[in-house]
Chains A and B, each alone.
Chain A
């Protein structure tokens, strides 16, 4: 069982600079050819911040291990992105992850990890919430 006192625990910040080539690679992978992205100052697709997490160097493995959980016992059951200000190519975002919720239900552990992203001017641009279920060790 997860220790509820881990709620509120924060992790080291990480940064990612938004690249035009990565945007193109992401759109090709998803299969989205909307011409609105092929402009000088394009918007970003709604789930593009997935890239910030994985390429920004946030290690979910390390984060989970700090609270005594192995990643192979974790199911990603939900995801949310909430935008507060526009993002642009060339912006550097800095993410700060925290355990925003931990609770037990039906003998299973539920955990929510919220990552707040600020841009290079310190403006809050995005909140990323990952909902996880932790399976018991067999």
Chain B
């Protein structure tokens, strides 16, 4: 269902998106898909050699979950800007929850823009990343 600019209000919360549990296999898949083959994401021995107690998820995979939260709400292809700050590491078997909130609506020429904030936390409420976004939405008036 299309989300229209007129349907959105400042303070609206985005539908929560739950992702996980994250598996080791998913990290292998994301390494191949993204091309980020840093072995701390897939090879336990290397992760331990750099002082971690096991492999960790790619920060950019967690950001991709945040991106999915945005597009599931506003529509694929709607995102104009998406910025995050990484806060915590995520390990396999963890489940994360993406939430967001609308902070501003503005019309810039032909564009109807909605801005907001987004966070990804684990199920213990530990922050993984937080960020802000801008999506462009269609108007009902066309």
Contacts from A to B (Cβ < 8 Å)? 22, 25-26, 28-32, 34, 36-37, 42-47, 50-51, 53-55, 72, 76-83, 86, 129, 131
Residues in A neighbouring B37, C-beta threshold 8 A = 54
A25/B77 contact (C-beta < 8 A), A45-B67, A46-B82, A47-B82 known: no
What residue in chain A is nearest B132 (Cβ atoms)?
A80
Interface residues on B, range: 20 to 34
- What is the predominant secondary structure among interface residues of chain A facing chain B? mixed
Kindly state the separation between the CA atoms of A124 and B92 in the bound complex, as whole angstroms: 37
A45 touches B64 (CB 8 A): yes
**Known contacts A25-B33, A43-B76, A30 near B65 by CB under 8 Å:** yes
Q: How far is the CB of A59 from chain B (nearest CB, A)?
A: 11
Q: What is the CA–CA distance of A92 and B84 in the complex, to the nearest angstrom? A: 26
Q: How far is the CA of A72 from the CA of B67 in the complex (A)?
A: 27
Additional A-B contacts beyond A36-B75, A50-B35 (6; CB < 8 A): A29-B33, A46-B70, A53-B35, A54-B37, A80-B84, A82-B81
Asked whether A51 lies within 8 Å of B85 as measured between CB atoms, the reply is no
Q: Which of B35, B59, B68, B84 contacts A51 (CB 8 A)?
A: B35
